[in-house]
């Protein structure tokens, strides 16, 4: 499996670990605030051959202690399990980022021991989910199934929401937190505008406003924190 990007060192993508991040193209959502739009639509960046990726990981054994796999949406890749097996064979724990729209694939990877940590994006409260994900009429059944699987404790995980002023307010965050009540950990991530987002002109909340939103969420998910401010 070729990959579309490799960040050779990150201390942020998997807190507490020195990791690298592998980027895969393709996604079934069109979130207006997505930073990786070049991986979602149009021609993706030139691919990095699998052999180059595995060679890098072999050389970094003993230095890196994790591999983060993100996208796009990694669970769209039919050969993802095969790739993760090769990464795990080198001794690396794996963190998987997902939009939660593919619960069967997520469960299968976890049950095979190929994923050690899951970061699932929860886009918004149910009433606003489709618009925030950029998919008209989006069915939330798969999202709910992924949430229930993670909340069952089958694998270590976090839930996270990128907070954008045009899509989120205190009412929405409270309703979202009620929907994911019982989550182990939940992060509100501040939106940062870039020239790669789908929709220009979106705006972020201030640090003080983000903390106010976090307080609203803590009524349902006590372990709520703010990132990126």
Q: Which helix (H) or strand (E) holds 86?
A: helix 80-89
What is the pLDDT averaged over residues 87-109? 98
pTM of the full structure:
0.95
- Position 121 pLDDT exceeds 70: yes
Domain edges within the chain: 5-227
Domain 5-227: give its CATH code.
3.20.20.70
Q: Of the candidates 49, 38, 40, which has an alpha carbon nearest to the alpha carbon of residue 1?
A: 49
- Mean residue pLDDT of the chain comes to 94
If you average pLDDT over residues 54-65, what whole number do you get? 96
Q: Give the pLDDT mean for 45-56.
A: 90
In the predicted model, is pLDDT for residue 20 greater than 80?
Answer: yes
Q: Per-residue confidence at 35, pLDDT binned at 50, 70, 90?
A: confident
Handedness of CA 213, 219, 220, 224 (dihedral sign): positive
Size of the chain in residues: 229
149-181 pLDDT per residue, tens: 999 999 999 999 999 999 999 999 999 999 999
Token output for 61: 């054994």
Residue 84 gets the label, from left (phi > 0), alpha (psi -120 to 50) or beta, of alpha
Peptide bond into 72 cis (omega under 30): yes
Quick check: 42 pLDDT over 70? Answer: no
How many whole angstroms separate alpha carbon 52 and alpha carbon 207?
Answer: 40
Band the pLDDT of 114: cuts 50, 70, 90. Answer: very high
What gap in Å lies between CA 185 and CA 161, rounded to an integer? 12
């Amino acid at each position: 499996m070729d990959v579309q990007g490799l960040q050779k060192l990150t201390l942020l993508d998997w807190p507490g670990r020195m990791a690298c991040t592998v980027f895969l193209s393709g996604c079934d959502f069109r979130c207006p605030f997505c930073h990786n739009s070049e991986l979602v639509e149009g021609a993706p960046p030139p691919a990095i051959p699998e052999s180059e990726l595995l060679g890098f990981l072999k050389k970094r054994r003993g230095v890196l202690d994790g591999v983060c796999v993100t996208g796009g949406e990694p669970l769209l890749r039919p050969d993802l399990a095969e790739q993760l097996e090769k990464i795990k064979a080198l001794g690396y724990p794996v963190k998987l980022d997902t939009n939660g729209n593919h619960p069967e694939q997520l469960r299968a990877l976890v049950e095979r021991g190929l994923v050690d940590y899951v970061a699932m994006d929860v886009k918004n409260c149910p009433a606003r989910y489709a618009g925030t994900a950029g998919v008209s009429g989006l069915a939330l059944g798969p999202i709910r199934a992924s949430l229930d699987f993670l909340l069952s404790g089958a694998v270590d995980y976090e839930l996270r929401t990128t907070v954008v002023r045009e899509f989120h307010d205190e009412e929405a965050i409270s309703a979202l937190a009620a929907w994911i009540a019982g989550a182990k950990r939940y992060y509100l991530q501040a939106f940062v505008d870039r020239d790669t987002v789908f929709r220009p002109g979106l705006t972020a909340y201030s640090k003080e406003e983000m903390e106010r939103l976090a307080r609203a969420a803590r009524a349902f998910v006590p372990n709520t924190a703010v990132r990126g401010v």
